[in-house]
Chain A
Amino acid sequence: EPEVTQTPSHQVTQMGQEVILRCVPISNHLYFYWYRQILGQKVEFLVSFYNNEISEKSEIFDDQFSVERPDGSNFTLKIRSTKLEDSAMYFCASIGQTLTEAFFGQGTRLTVV
């Protein structure tokens, strides 16, 4: 069964450092997303990406965040200068053309120390 793959599964970084979280969406999907979940809280929308550009972003997704689809398979989230409050699980998701199902990856646990 096709799945969304995320790497790494866990990343520890020092405050102020840059991190890149990687995702391989399902191959024939068209819409790509990043969500985050702070421990014990709701899953929150960060950004959506369609046709090689950002289509929507939340207020959380400030200038410290960026996304990129550098090739036909990878989708990345970069945080330029991490803060303690960026510690969370980050989930990548993708949706196909039928829009009927949204599949999530297993997440990257980001810990900022």
Chain B
Amino acid sequence: EDQVTQSPEALRLQEGESSSLNCSYTVSGLRGLFWYRQDPGKGPEFLFTLYSAGEEKEKERLKATLTKKESFLHITAPKPEDSATYLCAVRPFSGGYNKLIFGAGTRLAVHP
């Protein structure tokens, strides 16, 4: 069964304290791994798509990396406005038409 597990569930950082969020996955075949940011009461906001092991993508203070079993979202020198829930999702080969399977998310709180 296709599955996505994110850790930690919650993370509290001081402003400027860099860290990483983990997304481990088990899928029949990977057709893309997606990272989203979700603010309370809002829809997921697209951040990155990664397709193959070794791939990396960056956006401001965020960098996403991918291996054959997991992905990391590295946050460098975070600011309070980076506080949100970060969601990881995979698009598996099983089934079709590009549905996404989500993890439960990591709630990030960055304090000044």
Contact = CB atoms under 8 A, between A and B. Distances in A.
Interface of A: 4, 6, 31, 33, 35, 41-45, 48, 50, 55-56, 89, 91, 93, 95, 99-107, 109
B44 A91 contact: yes
Interface residues of B, number: 23
B102 A103 contact: no
A33 B44 CA distance: 13
B43 A105 contact: yes
Contacts of B105: 42
Interface of B is mostly: loop
Nearest to B87: A43
B103 A31 contact: no
B43 A91 contact: yes
Contacts of B49: 100-101
Contact of A102 (B41, B46, B101, B104): B46
Contacts of A107: 41-43
Contact of A48 (B41, B98, B101): B98
Nearest to A10: B41
Top 4 A-B residue pairs of the complex, sorted by shortest distance between their CB atoms: A55-B97, A104-B43, A43-B102, A48-B97
22 contacts: A33-B99, A35-B100, A41-B104, A42-B103, A42-B105, A43-B44, A43-B100, A44-B102, A48-B97, A56-B95, A95-B98, A99-B32, A99-B98, A100-B32, A100-B49, A102-B46, A102-B100, A103-B46, A104-B44, A104-B46, A106-B43, A107-B42
B86 interface: no
B57 to A, nearest CB: 11
B96 interface: yes
Contact of B99 (A6, A48, A103, A109): A48
B101 A45 contact: yes
A44 B99 CA distance: 10
